[in-house]
Amino acid sequence: MNVSPLIHEEEIAEAVAQLGRRLSDEYRDRELTILGVLTGSLIFVADLMRQIEVPHQVGLLQASSYRGTATSPGRLELNLDFLPNLQGRDLLLVDDIFDTGRTITGICEKLKEQQPRSIQVAVLLWKKARTVVETVPDFTCFEIPDQFVVGYGLDYDGLYRHLPYIGVVETDTV
């Protein structure tokens, strides 16, 4: 499979640092809980939380609507069993990519049952052309074209998450 760089490692580092500064200002004097969506956001969450200069909790949740080599979403499956207490806290839901928006919308609806003070969404990538919901991310590092991407946590059939950049997969291989 051929992967062509779309967003270089240095660009990602700068965007994550800028977002960290913005979130530090946004959540100053608030009870912040960062919730990463497994598995794609793992690298982004780790880098971002080191850039946020206010005390915060971290939790991880499993959400999946893409399986294996699928490039179209299926039914959303959630596992919220290992979350900290969210009641009354300000939540920052962090995901790797905002595609159709259905996954984030479904997660936010489920998280509201935990009675947080607020919920905001931060994503590394946003494919605006594919968005089909009214919800939009509150914070975005990059808007990208409707291309299949891997790297920096994003995968193709479980592979390529380790790449330090975001790359486009050649369309004849996906």
Is residue 57 within 8 Å of residue 34, measured between CB atoms?
A: yes
Given 99, 138, 155, 157, which residue is catalytic?
99
Write out the DSSP string of 72-120.
S----EEE-TTPPP-TTPEEEEEEEEESSSHHHHHHHHHHHTT--SEEE
25 in catalytic set: no
Contacting residues for 60 by C-beta, under 8 A, at least 6 apart? 35, 36, 37, 38, 45, 82
**Residues forming the active site:** 99
